[in-house]
Chains A and B, each alone.
Chain A
Amino acid sequence: DAKTTQPPSMDCAEGRAANLPCNHSTISGNEYVYWYRQIHSQGPQYIIHGLKNNETNEMASLIITEDRKSSTLILPHATLRDTAVYYCIVREGNNRLAFGKGNQVVVIP
């Protein structure tokens, strides 16, 4: 079973920032949080990962709370092409990344 909790779906307005929440209350001290997204019928696409500090790349920003029990993925200016299922993932077992059902994000014009 996945060790993260995400809302099943959310809508966001085109051009606005999209804030995607994730709870990972059982995360251990040395585990990273990874975010992927999957557009229909394609393989999952890596977005960003982080350990303790906030991270930013060309796709998104990742805000991790100080207690590391939750994080937020921020898409700064959502476009229609950002419509996808977004997965927040932590390591399960020794080496596997466990995906849940993810958050179906729909960007609305």
Chain B
Amino acid sequence: DTGVSQDPRHKITKRGQNVTFRCDPISEHNRLYWYRQTLGQGPEFLTYFQNEAQLEKSRLLSDRFSAERPKGSFSTLEIQRTEQGDSAMYLCASSLVFSGANVLTFGAGSRLTVL
């Protein structure tokens, strides 16, 4: 079990640059989630995929953010024209619903610092 992998673990960028994060979920999981976490706060939901379909997006996901899961396997989260307020930990999680329970397995996160 390789768990959920996220890459890169750390990214420092200048304001206005584009960044992309990748998430590789657990292979048999059909659901994939992106969350964002700022200092002192709990994770906040951004978006969710079931297989390749993006089924829900938070209002936190502005038009500068885009997420894809092209073949229902790995996912990417791109932030265009980064702002200092985008500095946060971006967490990916995957799950397989069983008996009505939806247990998410999280990756270690990708920490973004926008200068």
- By the criterion of a CB under 8 Å from any partner CB, how many residues of chain B are at the interface? 28
Q: Which B residues touch A85, using CB under 8 A?
A: 42
Contact A101 B56 (CB under 8 A): no
Interface class of chain A by DSSP: loop
Q: Kindly list chain B residues whose C-beta atoms are within 8 Å of the C-beta of A98.
A: 45
Within the complex, the shortest CB–CB distance from A108 to chain B, in Å, comes to 22
Question: Shortest Cβ distance from A83 into chain B, in angstroms?
Answer: 16
Check if A101 sits within 8 Å of B41, measured CB to CB: yes
Number of interface residues of A (CB under 8 A): 27
State whether B48 touches A96 (Cβ < 8 A): yes
Number of A-B contacts (CB under 8 A): 62
Known A96-B48, A98-B45; contact A34-B103, beta-carbon cutoff 8 A = yes
Contacts of B48 in A (CB 8 A): 95-96
Q: Which of B88-106 contact A (CB under 8 A)?
A: 89, 91, 93, 100-106
Within 8 Å by CB of B105, from A46, A87, A100, lies A46
Q: How far is the CA of A36 from the CA of B43 in the complex (A)?
A: 11
Asked if A96 contacts B42 (CB within 8 A), the reply is: no
Q: Which residues of A contact B102 (CB under 8 A)?
A: 32, 91, 95, 97
Residues in chain B near residue A34, CB distance under 8 A: 103
The 6 closest A-B pairs by CB, nearest first: A99-B42, A43-B106, A96-B45, A99-B43, A44-B106, A43-B108
Q: What are 11 A-to-B residue pairs whose CB atoms are below 8 Å?
A: A2-B42, A41-B111, A43-B107, A45-B106, A46-B104, A49-B101, A96-B56, A97-B102, A99-B43, A101-B41, A102-B42
Measured CB to CB, the residues of A under 8 A from B are: 2, 30, 32, 34, 36, 41-46, 49, 51, 85, 87, 91-102
